[in-house]
Structure 1
Amino acid sequence: MISPDVTGASNTNVPSVGPSRPKNIIIMIGDGMGPAYTTAYRYYKDNPETEEIEQTVFDRLLVGMSSTYPASVSGYVTDSAASATALATGFKSYNGAISVDIEKRPLPTLMEKAKSLGLATGIAVTSQVNHATPAAFLVHNESRNNYIDIAQAYIDTDADVILGGGQQYFPASLLTQFTEKGYQHITEFTQLDSITTPKVLGLFADVQLPWAINDNRSHKLSKMTQKAIDLLSQNQQGFVLLVEGSLIDWAGHSNDIATAMGEMDEFAAAIEVVEQFVRQSKDTLVVITADHNTGGLSVGANDKYEWKPEVLSRVKASPDEIANQAIANEQWQTVVTELIGFTPSDTELTALDNARLQGNEALTIALRKIIDVHSNTGWTSGGHTAVDVQVFSAGPGARLFGGHQDNTDIANKVFSLLPESAVKQ
């Protein structure tokens, strides 16, 4: 058993005065957020008018690294389900597993343990709420792809806060079960302000929430995170909250650097909300990591010693949205130039014209490649890679997460920091 009698954080930015065991635990996962993403984000946010390269929240809170490999049956490269299972249970499993072992037997999860101890629980994500990562913290299933079954299983979790996308997986009959169990069901983001008490099921999109780059800096994840904290804090025994920047991974799979930086900014803003809460409460631990690395992002490529984040800062919409508008407008070159933030060369315009004739997907891919060329961004894969990921932490017990560890170690350390006995109800 790991001793939890460690106070404070291993950095100097968050006060170390506080209890040895946290009352509240917040787990934050940047899906697909390998080390190159946080590096790229630092340069993306850098103020070019200053000599100094400014720190980001990731730099402030960095404490260690984590390996991510799944059970040996799946090799060295994990998917989100196996990694989330490790982070939620402390056990390795196969790719696709939702908190079941390699024999498909249920593994006790952090959220289940927290509930048994009288703590409130919640999730706030930018994907569908029944996607692999949140699912592994809440339920058990032999396959991450059984979205309907996973959504149905949520009714038995008794989670106090469920916020994200995924309307298409929650039919009217299931929603009735939630409301009969006392849940407030909302579908418009503006309705979130009116929610003042748990329980709440907020489904704000058919599947994923909008790309942050297209969402006018509305910082939906930050607002969901703050609301979840406000609601869960009403439990005097404490809470466990999972927050996921889900769409970093989705942009990585598409090798879409501009959209990925928008999602990184969204996740960083949510971390800053939590960081402030940790500063104020002094009884809350936050542990932040990635489940794996996606895309093999390279900050610099093509044998050139350069990377140009200023190109990305000028991109005004995601490539798929730019493609939508370009296909709908005869003056598409003007549209592309305005939204992409630079004027493509004649050769590039010819390639875009040919792609436009093939439809949205072809034009979207062509736009991504041109943005890569102008920013000198590289990718090695459309899937995941096996590199270690970073670990960030602050609050009571944060030093436990320093140095190198496995993702199962992270879970076991968090388990060790839970209350020692159940609260009498």
Structure 2
Amino acid sequence: MLESKAYDVAAEPSQIKNIVLLIGDGMGPQQVGLLEEYATRAPQSIYRGNNSAISKLANLGVTGLSLHGPADKLVVDSACSATQLATGVASGSEMIGLNRAGQKIPTILQKAKAMGKSTGLVSDTRLTHATPAAFATHQIHRSMENAIAEQMVVSNSVDVMLSGGLRHFIPKDYMLSGELDALETRLAVSGLSLKSKRRDRKNILRQAESQGYELVFNEGQLQDAHSERILGLFANSAMVDGIEASNQRYHGQPSLRNMTQVAINKLAKNPKGFFLMVEGGQIDWAGHNNDAGTLLHEMIKFDSAVDAVLQWAKDRDDTLVILTADHETGGFGFSYSGADLPQAEQLDNLNGDIYKPNYNFGELTILDKLYLQKRSYSAMWKAAKHDDNKPSADKLVQTVNLNSEFKINDADANTILAEQKNAFFKRGHKSLGVKIASKIHDFSPFYVYLNERPLNLIGRALSTKQNIVWSTGTHTHTPVGVFVLGPEHAIKQFSGFYTHVELGKKMKQILTGY
């Protein structure tokens, strides 16, 4: 009789059946650094000196760097960048789900759905905004949000959709009927504005209902939702900003963290797996506005969602968590200056040396002061305005100083309120179509959102006190981080320097096999 012999058989690598893609819109390395500096070094940090979830994810997995430029330009917008992540194909500026030639390219989300996997999109902006739109729709321009809303629902490719943007899903001149049915009752009790951006009578909510979506409009309705297919629209336009969220002023909305948790819990029920994209979209908006306090709060908001994903995925061998950005916004950074030079200090060492740095390298208390900002620059400007007119200098000083630990004076206010001829006037242009604009003294070609220039100027007025510099009101080409958590055999290929097109190809190949 032959003796049985034991053989060591190498275990097969586990198959990746789930991908959670986390996108910090506008989140360059500088923004990640802001969060981590606050978390670990701010004297009064809410993290109590512990690392951020982003840092923890990076340390548990591998890290790469990615360039994100369009097919034929240097600097990318969110639509093109998200399209390249979603398709693994080079795209053109402001395109949605298309290659540079304008051809529709199946996205990783659509391929996952075709394989029988569940799919989800979560954002704190609008569902129809550039980043979520690029994963589920195909349009020649990102501004076509009404068409994007309709295509998202009609295509049936997304199982869970949670964000803002109700205005693109309700018909022109929409009013609730006299006798409310179940859908209208949920909408009525949400208290949301019913001001539509559509130019037609199409009710995309009704289309969604007919296709089996459970529609929810506030936090309570989301938590009570029992369907595996959910359309949640929690604001007429964007959801609350980071400062509002940090102060628990949600106005009935779910947090980005809660939306992420609900999406994962729903999608994970599918034994075939899922693809989920979660966007912290207002990091970008704070960068556009050169608003450092709001930027910090947006990073904290996003980090909380990252933590929820990390807690769910960290011990799994069938899931990849990929955290990246579409681009960097604002050219943000702390810097040292010649203002408020440090005083000499006698050290308590053996020699009793006198220590006196030559420049102001920035006090750590700046981080706490940024966190203590009470309103975004946008909310401050709105509060200071009289009707539709710009505020007086006195009112602007009063409003900013009430809401910021960093103060402005009358001279600052007059600089913020100063105007000049718009050198880049273009009749009919969405942003540049006005002849008079706020006066930017340098880099004015790169402050293209003219209605936001006063916010940029508030940032400029406070920047010396904050030890902060901003180089632009738009995007930069700065390579962004890619932090990947999962089984070693799957994540090692994400280490290194590559492009978003290559990153998109990697994700698609791992999840779908092609």
TM-score category by the smaller chain? 0.7 to 0.9
Quote the residue 2:286 is aligned against.
Answer: 251
More helix by share: 1
Equivalent residue number for residue 276 of structure 1: 311
Structure 2 residue matching 1:196: 3-state secondary structure: coil
Structure 2 partner of 1:35: 29
- Which region of structure 1 is more displaced relative to structure 2, 136-145 or 57-66? 57-66
Deviation at 1:212, TM superposition (A): 1.5
Count of aligned residue pairs for this structure pair: 400
Higher relative contact order (CA 8 A, sep 6+): 1
Query: Which stretch of structure 1 is more off in the superposition, 182-191 or 378-387?
Result: 182-191
Matched, 1:368 2:459: yes
The verdict on how the C-alpha distance between 1:49 and 1:259 changes in structure 2, with shifts beyond 3 A counting, is: closer
Q: Secondary structure at the match of 1:46?
A: helix
Shift of 1:357: 11
Q: 1:302-329: per-residue Cα shift (whole Å, max 9, x none)?
A: 5653263232022121122233344579
Identical columns (%):
33
Q: How far apart are the structure 2 equivalents of 1:146 and 1:37?
A: 29
The within-5 A match list for 1:26-425 is: 26-49=20-43, 54-62=50-58, 63-72=63-72, 75-155=73-153, 156-172=155-171, 173-215=203-245, 216-217=247-248, 220-300=255-335, 302=337, 304-306=360-362, 308-327=366-385, 336-342=400-406, 344=407, 348-352=409-413, 364-396=455-487, 397-420=490-513
CA contact (8 A) 2:111 2:512 kept: no
Query: Contact (CA 8 Å) 1:292, 1:389: kept in 2 or not?
Result: yes
- Matched position secondary structure for 1:130: coil
What are the ranges of 5 or more consecutive residues in structure 1 without an aligned counterpart?
A: 1-16
Q: Which amino acid counterpart does residue 272 of structure 1 have in structure 2? A: D
Task: Work out whether residues 121 and 161 of structure 1, in 8 Å CA contact, stay in contact via their aligned partners in 2.
Answer: yes
- Structure-2 separation of matches of 1:81 and 1:334: 38
The secondary structure found in structure 2 opposite 1:417 is helix
Q: Which residue type is aligned with residue 24 of structure 1?
A: N
Deviations 1:359-413 (A, max 9, x none): 9967644533333232111111111111110001111322221111211121111
Q: Specify whether residues 402 and 198 from structure 1 end up closer, same or farther in structure 2 by C-alpha distance, changes over 3 A only.
A: same
Give the superposed CA RMSD: 2.8
TM-score by length of 2: 0.72
Give the Cα separation in 1 of the matches to 2:399 and 2:94.
41
Q: CA deviation at 1:97?
A: 1.2
Once the two structures are overlaid, the 10-residue window that deviates more, 298-307 or 173-182, is: 298-307
Scaled by the length of structure 1, the TM-score of the pair is 0.86
Letter in 2 for 1:399: K
Q: Contact conserved, 1:302 with 1:378, CA < 8 A, in 2?
A: no
Letter of the 2:500 partner, please give it. Answer: N
Measured in 2, the distance between the counterparts of 1:351 and 1:416 equals 53
Other-structure match for 2:348: none
For 1:95 and 1:327, locate their aligned partners in 2 and report how far apart those are by CA, in whole Å: 35
The answer on whether the counterparts of 1:127 and 1:208 sit within 8 Å (CA) in structure 2 is yes
Q: Find the aligned partners of 1:158 and 1:88 in 2 and give their Cα distance.
A: 14
CA–CA separation in structure 2 for the residues paired with 1:350 and 1:395: 54
Whether contact under 8 Å (2:57, 2:484) holds in the other structure is yes
Q: Give the stretch that moved more between structures: 171-180 or 370-379.
A: 370-379
Residue aligned with 2:212, SS = coil
Q: Which moved more, 1:265-274 or 1:353-362?
A: 353-362
Task: Quickly say closer, same or farther: Cα 1:339–1:282, change in 2 above 3 A.
Answer: same
Q: Which amino acid aligns with 1:387?
A: T
Does the CA-based 8 Å contact 1:19-1:283 persist in structure 2?
Answer: no
Secondary structure at the aligned position of 2:14 is classed as coil
Question: Is contact 1:295–1:385 with CA below 8 Å preserved after alignment?
Answer: yes
Q: What CA distance in whole angstroms lies between the structure 2 residues aligned with 1:76 and 1:365?
A: 23
Encode CA deviations 1:282-320: one digit per residue, 9 max, x unaligned. Answer: 422100101111111122255653263232022121122
Deviation at 1:233, TM superposition (A): 1.1
Deviation at 1:55, TM superposition (A): 2.9
CA contact (8 A) 1:352 1:363 kept: no
Counterpart in the other structure of 2:16: 22
Aligned partners of 2:68, 2:284: CA distance in 1, in Å? 15
Q: Sort the Cα spacing of 1:179 and 1:59 in 2 relative to 1 into closer, same or farther, 3 A.
A: same
> Displacement of 1:45 after TM fit?
2.3
Segments of structure 2 that go 5 or more residues without pairing to the other structure are 1-10, 172-202, 339-359, 420-437, 439-450
Structure of larger gyration radius? 2
Q: Could you tell me which amino acid in structure 1 is paired with residue 86 of structure 2?
A: A
Are the aligned partners of 1:19 and 1:282 in contact in 2 as well (CA < 8 Å)? no
Shift of 1:350: 4.5
1:145 aligns to what SS in structure 2? coil
